[in-house]
Amino acid sequence: MAFFSSDADPLGPFSGRRIERTLGELALGIAALWLLAALPYPLSLTLAQTLGATLLYAILAGWLLHYWRQGALGWANRVTLLRGILILLLTAALFSPDSFEARRLTWLGMATLALLLDGLDGWVARRQGCQSELGARFDMELDAFFILVLCLGLVIADITGVWVMLIGLMRYAFVLSGHAWPWLKASLPESFRRKAVCVWQIMTLLVALLPFMPSDIALLLVSSALAALMVSFALDIRWLYRHASSNAPRAWP
């Protein structure tokens, strides 16, 4: 994931210009969220669901804006935040199980759009020729939350047991373990295997959620995603352990 910025921000984190810019970006995102939530189709969210999604978006965007120090966010960032809005609306829809079941195909359509935007923000960023470590972290955490939402959808749809939540929670268990073993917080090298496993998880979870998918095939797909994830985490943990003495923890949580 890459981020575009026009220039480095010469102002401090509490400058008037920075606060104004931050509030403007938050207001833009919240307006987009409420516009999508107000549409009678595809999700038909209640006011409570929309308010919950708004709160989660404020936390998500606030995290990015707090650590971003490179001027304007740019369109690559905004595409990523739009993907975050879609994922949060999907999350809110899960809290009305009847509505979710009745609109599962349209829910999956929106989830597929969120997946496609994951490729679009990278394309926009490459066109701008800018990448950042913070951008990679933000994109990764959004992917992790998306996977957690898809796992929750499988449980609500009664396609798998609660064991599928291991796929969505494994990333968060890894992050929490870093507080006990700081060497787990060190940066990992770029890995095609890690990206491929992430894409495989999302695609298999989406396919397993299709209403016409046979249950045995859905279980096989989800099981393969869990197995691939466990192997990927094991390889990353081994690499971090072997390089523990030479790797410094990241500067952010």
CATH number of the domain to which 92 belongs:
1.20.120
Q: Is residue 75 part of a domain?
A: yes
- pLDDT for 61: 83
- pLDDT for 97: 60
**Which of 210, 191, 199 is CA-nearest to residue 153?**
210
* Number of separate domains in the chain: 1
pLDDT at 13 over 50: no
Query: Which residues is 249 bridged to in the sheet?
Result: 186
Q: Is residue 251 part of a domain?
A: no
Q: Is residue 87 part of a domain?
A: yes
Q: Is residue 70 part of a domain?
A: yes
Half-sphere exposure for 130 (CA within 13 Å, toward CB): 19
Q: Is residue 10 part of a domain?
A: no
Q: Is residue 2 part of a domain?
A: no
- pLDDT classification of 225: cutoffs 50, 70, 90: very high
Q: Is residue 58 part of a domain?
A: yes
CA 197 → CA 144, 164, 181, 202, distances in Å? 12, 16, 24, 9
* pLDDT tens digits for range 153-181: 999 989 999 999 999 999 999 999 998 99
Q: Is residue 162 part of a domain?
A: yes
**Dihedral (CA of 207, 209, 213, 218) sign:** positive
Q: Which residue range forms the structural domain that includes residue 24? A: 16-242
